[in-house]
Amino acid sequence: MLRRRALLVAAILMPSLAAAQPVQNIVLRNSFNPTGAGARGLGMGGAFIGVADDGTAASFNPAGLALLRRTELAAVGFRSSLEVNRNDALSSRNVVETTSHGRPDFLGLAVPFGLAGRNLTVQLSYQRAVDLFGTGSATTVDIVPFRDLRIGAAGNAQVVGQIAPEQSGAFNTATISAGYQATQRLLLGFSLNYWFADWTARGNTTFTISTLPNPPARSTTLRTETRTFEQEQSLRALNLNVGLLLKYPRLSIGAIARLPFSGRYALDETGTQVTVEAGRAAVPTPANVQMSSTLAWPFTGGLGIAVRPITGMTLAADYSKAYWSRATLAGVVDGALLTPQDAAVDGVQPAPSFTDRNFFDLNAASVTTTDDTSQFRAGAEYLITLPKLVIPLRAGVYRDRSPVLDLNKDQGRQIRGFTFGTGLNFTRFVFDLAFEQRKSEGVVGIQSRRGQGQSTASIENVEERRIVASIIFRFGEDDPVKRALRALFVGPPEKSDN
């Protein structure tokens, strides 16, 4: 599944600027690369594909469910704070923006059964798979030829862009999973996920076209375009994850394949655009778009290894790959999601420039700059065993990358993080707590066509801190869940004739 901390907002353009390419997504500061839920896995840096042996296993590798021997009820929640420190391209001031929020993250009930002498565990779960939240802003200064702005003058113009979006919502999944012990060493699993995502992006953009300020006092404003927007978006889809786990006394090897899917996507976009030109009154224009389409989500997969060199210690490492360049929105009409719309000629609107666009940068799918990304995670756990209590000590690191290319670079921003955690593990009750800190640096701005103009953009440093807490309750021998299922599907035990 996808990791929650990725923050998505539609790419923003100045609609009438032929030379402008999508503004760097200024709220997507992290990666969509998938990891699972739970404080234990996060405390080990998220390297849990080759471990996956508790009630959150299905979110990492459903094959690990077959390791459970008792019914487990798992609940996970998080609290996150985000701090963005950036320079303003226009004023050179330093700007600090902070946001924070918390949500339930995972809830699952796993029930093990015996089947043909092997263990079969079935789980029903909910996960907040991708958490979409945050606010952002950017000011960019770009030098663009007048001809690219459809202004009949020689030379270049200065274009100042001010962008301020915010976003809320989430990609959620309702999942049925199963893990089966195929042999003494081989475990197999699957998860059928129903995706239900609803998110809102809103904000405003202001672009000002003026003559070059040389000297600054003689700069003349030629045109100002201001647009407010609110985008209500939703996704409904089904997909399948399959996993395997090879388990030896001191070594485990896991693999997870999250299969691609196509889902039903809907957009309801409202807003207003106001254009002010020198010597003319403001002209407000409604900018409303409704669209039903298909969102194609790509394959993602991962491999994990876990080694237990001594009793009580586990060392783990994961590698994941995601093909985000293949994430595509079909049938996007010009103007939707703030993409540029060619002006009508003699009252006739031209055919759309593109219909299929990449989900992240909204460029044509055939020429998208969105990057396929890899993720590396490593972590360790050591168990301190006391009478009737086990205290774990965990730590981990990871390296990740955003799928959205930084301005004037050939790759997305690199994300580095570290984690640590601990907990209290009783016979039937487990409490785990993990802390995560991730940092990245990136550029936000308007990107002009290569060789035309020069852009000055904002550089931002992002730091996110997150606390995750998990509670797992393990039922005893007199399991009420199994008794209820037996009564519902099997019936009462037959009475003996004796």
d(CA 378, CA 398): 6
Q: Judge whether 398 and 352 are in contact, CB under 8 Å.
A: no
List C-alpha distances in Å: 259 to 262, 343, 450: 10, 40, 36
Half-sphere exposure of 491 (CA within 13 A, CB side): 2
pLDDT level of residue 286 (50, 70, 90 thresholds): confident
Give tens-digit pLDDT for 294-311.
Answer: 999 999 999 999 999 999
d(CA 358, CA 362): 5
pLDDT score for 449? 41
Question: Which residues, at least 6 apart from 316, have a Cβ–Cβ distance to it below 8 Å?
Answer: 44, 45, 47, 48, 50, 51, 304, 305, 306, 307, 378, 379, 380, 381
Whether the per-residue pLDDT at 193 is higher than 70: the answer is: yes
Whether the per-residue pLDDT at 357 is higher than 80: the answer is: yes
pTM value is 0.88
Rounded to the nearest angstrom, the gap between the alpha carbon of residue 142 and the centroid of all alpha carbons in its chain is 30
Instruction: Phi first, then psi: give them for residue 340, nearest 5 degrees.
Output: -70, 150
Question: Which residues, at least 6 apart from 410, have a Cβ–Cβ distance to it below 8 Å?
Answer: none
Q: Judge whether 5 and 27 are in contact, CB under 8 Å.
A: no
pLDDT level of residue 407 (50, 70, 90 thresholds): low
pLDDT level of residue 14 (50, 70, 90 thresholds): very low
Alpha helices in 53-195 (DSSP H): 57-60
pLDDT level of residue 80 (50, 70, 90 thresholds): very high
CATH annotation of 39-345+356-489: 2.40.160.60
pLDDT score for 20? 34
Q: Judge whether 4 and 31 are in contact, CB under 8 Å.
A: no
d(CA 90, CA 165): 18
- DSSP H or E segment with residue 201: strand 186-211
